[in-house]
Structure 1
Amino acid sequence: MILRQPNWAQDLLAAQAAGPEVVGRQQQQQSPVMELVVALSDQRMYREVAWSLRRGLRDARSEFAFVRERGLNALAKFMSSAVNSEKVIELFRDSQSCRELQVVPVLFDYALAPRKRLVKNLNISAGAEAGLDVEISSTTAEVVLALRVLEGCCLLYSGCRTTASQHAAVSEVIDLFLAGGSPVQSACLDGLLAIMLESPSNQKEFERVHGLRKIAEMLRNSHLDPSIRLKIAEFIVILMSQILPSSNRGFGLGEGPKPAWMTKWAQQELIEVLGKECSAVVDDIIDAGRQTYLDKDGQQTAMLRYAQELLQLAS
């Protein structure tokens, strides 16, 4: 994505960003030239964002897997670059109100949960019908890329989580997790956390399909890739300590040290799968989510310790 400002605007925008140290605040606010430059810059950046999305979505709708992968890869790169600019994030959020630029519906229609679609019949000499209703399968690389793009969309804009809920995203991703290999399973776990972040509707769907039970049961599979088993344990820790408690205010808080309603069902399902011995560990995980850590390293160390304890209980 090309977001470099033209030469004529770079100096003025740099002066605006520097604030009153370079240009007087009053002069800056009253300058019609500056207002024009900022408006033109915003319009240009929005065109770049829209162009990047259109190009990626066009390829992501292709009937050929390699073209869809190319489009998803372009969308993934856009998501990565958007993180570095608050303005691009804001423009991406605005773009999702435009139907032709919406990313999430395309992901589910063509990569994550493809349905039967009418495609052109290339065997003209056979005299067959002009179109065939066929199932177009997705490759592993395509599914992983689509899950990464879905994760990026949901992290950048909460509206994408709402759109994802309309496509039964939680149920579809869990099905992919149960049927996929290690790369797909890893991407599914990251995607689920992003989908459920501060989204009561998606969390309720996760509860309805017994998603935690299905994922926790995989933790007991000793033949599973060790790195995936550890990631499942980390997923459970993050879910119990950060994701579910973040939506408690939408359903009513618990009383005192007891977990709120949104964590109770999850705690019960873990106990049923891993045994009563995990109850104390789950309580510690929930309490850890309420603590304030001085640095991220300390928090990550604590989360890893709890994940390893869950692995031991599941062994």
Structure 2
Amino acid sequence: MYLKKPLWSEGIEAAKGEASGSDPKPQAYGGAVAELVNSLQQQRVYREVTLALTTGLRDARAEFSFLRVRALRSLLNFLRSVADSDFTIDLFIQTQSIPQLQVVPVLFQHSLKESGLEAEDDCNENRVRDLSHIFGVEPMKLTSPATDAEVALALRVLEGCCLLHPHSTALAHRHNAIQVLMNILSTRGVLEQGACLDALISLMVDSPLNQMDFEKCNGIMEVADLIRDKQVDENLRLKCGEFLQLLIGHVNGRDSSPLANIHEDTRRLLGEKSASLIWAAGQFGSTLDPEQRLTALQIQARRVLESLDLY
């Protein structure tokens, strides 16, 4: 969503110049023009937001993966532009109360839809029972499976939605988001696994329901297995270290959290030294600005890996 300056807004500067004079009439005129331009600009941005969502979600439902990938890239760029101002963030939040414009359900119904053996069996059974596509006039629809790039993009879009619109975590919970993402984490490649860890954090922030699902899925054990495995890509292991630091830092001091025992679980799975390094990062990280915090997370994650490799 990249807006050009509208032609009708060029007269606002002239109106402001007139309003600075001593005559009260030009002042009133300038204020009225400014108010009108402001209103027109807000309506224009709202139309742009709804148009971007409508077109993006239409292609995100497409049968072919390349169309869905293009739509997801467009939605990701849209979310990045939305994050530039509080006004556009508020507009995006308003649109997510409209079912037709909700992003999260579309992600789980298409790009993040699980297609396991059971689903394939059901599909084959339905084909045997239903022969309407053979004897009817309408051809059977075939949907291409999600590629690695598509899944990774969908996870990035999911992360952005949850960060900009907290209620998206509840929408994701209705689609068993944690179970879906844990399956991606254990079966997909490095590209999707890295995006999955970032999306998991955004899903669990201030969401006890998703935290409870993460606990039920033995999420800490899954992440600990990845970080301990020296055959796993080093960058992914570092990402796991950053994930644990962020998660422990978020739930630290919240006794009512479903993950209140996360520090004890980490100590049991990774050892005392590594658990202490992860816990320490969660204590001081919140006092730093975002850039310093990211650097501190990366440094501490490296120390965690070194402590594990020496263990």
Per the alignment, residue 162 of structure 2 pairs with 154
Q: From the superposition, tell whether residues 33 and 192 of structure 1 become closer, same or farther in structure 2 (CA, over 3 Å).
A: same
**Given the two structures, how large is their TM-score scaled by the length of structure 1?**
0.81
Q: Is 1:265 paired with 2:246?
A: no
- Correspondent of 1:309 among 297, 300, 303: 303
**Which AA in structure 2 matches 1:75?**
L
Deviates more, 1:189-198 or 1:131-140: 131-140
Q: Is 1:186 paired with 2:182?
A: no
The CA deviation at 1:285 is 2.8
The structure with the largest alpha-carbon Rg is 2
- Correspondent of 2:281 among 285, 300, 303: 285
The CA deviation at 1:283 is 3.7
Q: Give the 5 Å matches for 1:115-126.
A: none
**Given the two structures, how large is their TM-score scaled by the length of structure 2?**
0.82
Q: In structure 2, what is the Cα distance between the partners aligned to 1:203 and 1:192?
A: 9
**Which AA in structure 2 matches 1:307?**
A
Q: Give the 5 Å matches for 1:170-249.
A: 170-241=178-249, 243-245=250-252, 248=254
Q: In structure 1, what is the Cα distance between the partners aligned to 2:242 and 2:38?
A: 44
Q: In structure 2, what is the Cα distance between the partners aligned to 1:195 and 1:29?
A: 49
**Which AA in structure 2 matches 1:216?**
A
Q: In structure 2, what is the Cα distance between the partners aligned to 1:279 and 1:216?
A: 11
Q: From the superposition, tell whether residues 33 and 298 of structure 1 become closer, same or farther in structure 2 (CA, over 3 Å).
A: closer
Q: In structure 2, what is the Cα distance between the partners aligned to 1:13 and 1:263?
A: 55
The CA deviation at 1:52 is 0.5
Deviations 1:133-182 (A, max 9, x none): 87752111110111111111111111111211111212211111111111
- Which secondary structure state, in structure 2, belongs to the residue aligned with residue 137 of structure 1? coil
Q: From the superposition, tell whether residues 300 and 96 of structure 1 become closer, same or farther in structure 2 (CA, over 3 Å).
A: closer
Deviates more, 1:137-146 or 1:101-110: 137-146
Where structure 1 has 5 or more consecutive residues not aligned to the other structure, the ranges are 253-260
Q: In structure 2, what is the Cα distance between the partners aligned to 1:28 and 1:212?
A: 63
Q: Over the residues paired in the alignment, what is the CA RMSD in angstroms?
A: 3.5
**Which AA in structure 1 matches 2:271?**
G
The CA deviation at 1:282 is 3.8
Deviates more, 1:276-285 or 1:199-208: 276-285
Q: Is the 8 A contact 2:111 2:154 kept in 1?
A: yes
Where structure 2 has 5 or more consecutive residues not aligned to the other structure, the ranges are none
Q: Is the 8 A contact 1:95 1:102 kept in 2?
A: yes
Identical aligned pairs, as a percentage? 35
4+ runs deviating over 4 angstroms: 13-16, 27-30, 114-118, 124-136, 295-298
Q: In structure 1, what is the Cα distance between the partners aligned to 2:13 and 2:55?
A: 28
- Which secondary structure state, in structure 2, belongs to the residue aligned with residue 151 of structure 1? helix
The CA deviation at 1:2 is 4.0
Aligned residues: 294
Q: From the superposition, tell whether residues 75 and 21 of structure 1 become closer, same or farther in structure 2 (CA, over 3 Å).
A: farther
